Structure 1
């Protein structure tokens, strides 16, 4: 018997469901980008746009990452039957950033009293802090074609937050403008409170990343290539 006739063939292209996911990713990327452009336009029209402050927020930087990752992931889902490991690794990281953005905003920032600064439109804020994180989480849970990630990839998700944190603390120390109130040592609690928030948020990012990796490995064996990869 010819063994080639009995060996299952790998899919030559993406399934219809994977193509549907690709289209939804592209639409979500467009929605997030539209929300950011709307916020910027609204602030410019009301003479309230400060580029250094606006683009210094973790939410905005991570949302711009989401635009790129969703767009690239969407195009590849339309073309390829499976996701490259590097893209899955980046998606795992941006998933953690999106979820922590939603959690921190809705638990710590949503009900803060106004400081008198320009508030702007509500719907872009809801897109960036509620709808995008929720849909990015659903994408990770439901999208097909994702490879199993190695557990060592968990630390990949901390690279950007640590770099952003160093920037935010340095800028705050030099200008006395703090991106978020919980990073300001001048608030009640001082540095111990700031350090506690940092540790808790870092731990949550690690837990989200661990959960994402665990889900990617459910019922699957890690490819041998990943074991040999020293990165």
Structure 2
């Protein structure tokens, strides 16, 4: 009788162990698939810093000309460190001072050049993707006011999947009236994108504390902003003349 009991216990242990190993293999396979999905969302630029710097200046000049500003893009003491950090981020380099799994939010005064820096980054990124037929999503650079208008006209789902650079983040109205209903389009979008782990970048004139205040997005969305962004201050006064 004792022998039969011992055999029964051994069989149960053996069965449980096989079940555990099967489940472990399942979850490792699923996790590996999710990691590959996240990796495919990011374009890791195969460039040396000197090459990236030269290209950034050229695309930055093109960006300024598109805006009617007939002048060269200048790297100086106020933006060079930011561009170096962008390079580390774009090449998935551990020298990046923040979290490589979060997006970038450039924060600074009006006219300090933060929008041009991130728009230039998006131009360089998108040019590589389009001209070399890479299977990577393009970066959509859009002002927060226009983004809010588009969400109301279309649907929040239109903007939940694509990588976004939200320019002048925080300047849009925080609520919108739609047929008597009060909507919070940007707050809803941020919540969905956080839950889905979709990469988001942006520029803002406001600090995280201000964005988290009741007059802006409130504490709950503010907490999500900490999960979404590396807040990187860009120094200097307005470059506009």
Q: TM-score range by the shorter chain?
A: 0.3 to 0.5
TM-score if structure 1 supplies the norm length?
0.33
More strand by share: 2
TM-score if structure 2 supplies the norm length?
0.32
Name which one, 1 or 2, has greater alpha-carbon Rg: 2
More helix by share: 1
